[in-house]
Structure formats: structure tokens, C-alpha cells
Structure 1
Amino acid sequence: MLLKYLGAALILISAPGLGMYLAGQWKERLRLLEKLRQMIYFLKGEITYSHAPLAEALERVGRRSGGPLGDMFVRASERICTQEGESLQEIWSGETRTMAAGAKNLPLTRADLEQFTALGEHLGYLDVDMQERTLLLYLEQLDLSIEYLQAHRQEKCRLYTSLGVMGGIFLVIVMC
């Protein structure tokens, strides 16, 4: 009987915790995408106004921003500078895979990572205007994602926490 009550107590604690975790992931994804938008604006400025080469621009933005995205920018810059015969597309996609695999708590979805990887396909070749247009297109996609997350943040976070609490209560009732 004691184990039954202990199990019910653990469920009543862990189920709302799971709901709060999912709500936190939603907020963290929003924060990370906003930081990525800021980094892309910095990268656009480095390329457009200071006419910095892509490797140098990536390094400056990565060092200024930090975090897993900043580290990814710095690693991509280092791989570009070593000139091992890889294209920027290969370097970029490899670094995004490494970033996604290395940061287990990265709250980005598969669609976010695919869009971020697609940015590397068109970056680094042609002229400054084309690179600026590529970055602006990615920024538009990023703004749509951020707008969606902001519009639904309150209702999704409330939904996740409520479902956690109600799911825990339902599970305890079914088990007892």
C-alpha cells in the first residue's frame, strides 16, 4: 500500500514536471531562434558593409555571440581557412550536423535545422549582393518561425503544463 502511494506521489510530481519541461523547450527554441536572427543580421553586416571574407565574418560573429551557434560559426570558419578541398556547402552541413549531435538539449526542430543547413547551400559564392539576398531570404523564413512561436507561446505553454498536471492526475486515478 505504501508503494502505491509513493508511486502516485512520484507520478503527481513528474507529470507536471514534464509539462513544464516542454513549455520551457518552447520558450528556449524561441530564444535560440531570436539569437540566430541576431547573428544572421551581424553576418549580413559583416559581409555587406565591411566586405569581410566569409571565413572572417563567420569567425567575428561566432566569437561575439557564443553558445552552440557561435561555436558552430567559429568551427565553420576554421574549416574554411584550412582549405581541405571541401565546398562551403559540405562544411556548413557537416557543422550543423555536428552542432545538432553535440548539443543534446538543443531545442531546434528538424525543420529549423534543415532551413539552417539550406542557408549554407547558397552562401559563400557569387557576389556580395547575392549573399545579402540569401541572408535576407533566410531572415524572412526565420521571422515567420519566430512570429509563430511568439503568437502561440502563451497558449502552448499553458497547454503543456495543464496537460502535465491533468495527465498525472488521470494516470493516478487509473492506477488506483
Structure 2
Amino acid sequence: MLLKIIGSILIISASGFIGFLYSKDCSARPQQLREIQSMLQMLENEISFLSTPLSEAFERIYKSSNNSISAIFKSAHEYLIDNLNYNASEAWALAVRDNIKKTSLKEEDEEILVSFGKILGSSDVEGQIGNIRLTVNQLKMQEHKAEEIRKKNENMYRTLGVLGGIAIVILLL
């Protein structure tokens, strides 16, 4: 009897933990979208006020923050510095594709970031600033969508995890 109780507690705990993991991932996306918007605004300041070259701007941005999104800027900086065969847009696209899997961002977020990079480094300062502002606005819309999804699904995942564990225990008993 004691073994059944311990097993039941373990099953409910494990399934509840899985539900909380899904819930955490659901709430991480809006936060990461806010972080990338903030970093792009830092890039806008670096370009417009300081006239910093892109590789240096990427370096300053990733050094100023410590999160999974900053890895995109670090990789873009490394691609520009280490390999002279990549231009800014190619370096950005490679950095986004290499690091997007380490984040909670979705495919549509990746598309926005990659399309941002297509104009990166190929236009004047005003064109760069306009591109950054357009991308920030697109990411804000994605953030609002992600926030709605979070509100809708976060509690559901937690509840389903625990209730799923209880259902499995009932079926096994």
C-alpha cells in the first residue's frame, strides 16, 4: 500500500512538473520579445547617435545584457569579425538561425528578425533607423499575440499537468 502511495505521488509530481515546464516556456516568449526590442533600440542609438560600426555595436549590445537573446548579437559580431566573407546581413541571418533554437521564439519571430537583417548595413543611417523601428513595431505585435497566448495557455498547462497525473494514478489503481 505504501508503495502505491509513493508511486502515485511521484507520477502526480512528474506530470505536474512537465505542466509547469510548458507553462514557463509559454511565459518566456513575451519576455524575450521585449528583450530583443530593447536591444534593437540600443542598436538604433548606437547607429544614430554614436555612429558605431555594426560589429562594435553588436559587441556592446551583447556585453550589456546577459540573456539568451544576446547570443544572437554575439554570434553576429563574431561572424563579422572572424570571417571577412560575410557582410552584415549574412552575418545577422546566420546568427539568428544559429541561436533561435536556444530561445522560446517562434518561426514567425525568426522570419521578422531575418528580414530585418536583409537591409542591415546596406543603406544609410536613416534607412537603418527606419528598418529598426519597423522591426520593433512588428515585434511589438508579436509580443501582444504572445501575451494573449500566454494568458490563455499558461494556467491550462499547469492544471493539465497535475490533472493528467491524477488521471494516470486513477487508471493505474
TM-score normalised over the length of structure 2: 0.86
Q: Are 2:130 and 1:133 equivalent residues in the alignment?
A: yes
- Report the aligned-residue RMSD: 2.1
What is the Cα deviation at residue 149 of structure 1?
2.6
Report the equivalent of 1:85. 85
Consecutive unaligned residues of structure 2, counting only runs of 5 or more, are: none
Q: Equivalents in 2 of 1:172, 1:87: separation in Å?
A: 57
Q: Are 2:9 and 1:17 equivalent residues in the alignment?
A: no
What is the Cα deviation at residue 84 of structure 1?
2.0
Report the equivalent of 1:96. 96
Q: Deviations over 1:85-129 (max 9, x none)?
A: 22323212222232235x3xx222222223222221221111111
The answer as to whether partners of 1:63 and 1:71 remain within 8 angstroms in 2 is no
Consecutive unaligned residues of structure 1, counting only runs of 5 or more, are: none
Q: Equivalents in 1 of 2:109, 2:4: separation in Å?
A: 43
TM-score normalised over the length of structure 1: 0.85
| Aligned pairs for 1:26-105 within 5 A | 26-82=26-82, 84-100=84-100, 103=102
The answer as to whether partners of 2:54 and 2:88 remain within 8 angstroms in 1 is no
Distance 1:43-1:173 versus aligned 2 partners, 3 A rule = same
Tell me which moved more, 114-123 or 12-21: 114-123
> Amino acid of the residue matched to residue 8 of structure 1?
S
Distance 1:95-1:152 versus aligned 2 partners, 3 A rule = closer
The number of aligned residues is 173
The answer as to whether partners of 2:59 and 2:77 remain within 8 angstroms in 1 is yes
> Amino acid of the residue matched to residue 65 of structure 2?
S
What is the Cα deviation at residue 45 of structure 1?
1.2
- Aligned-residue sequence identity (percent) comes to 28
Distance 1:8-1:147 versus aligned 2 partners, 3 A rule = same
Q: Equivalents in 1 of 2:170, 2:116: separation in Å?
A: 50
The answer as to whether partners of 2:48 and 2:129 remain within 8 angstroms in 1 is yes
Moved over 6 A (4+): none
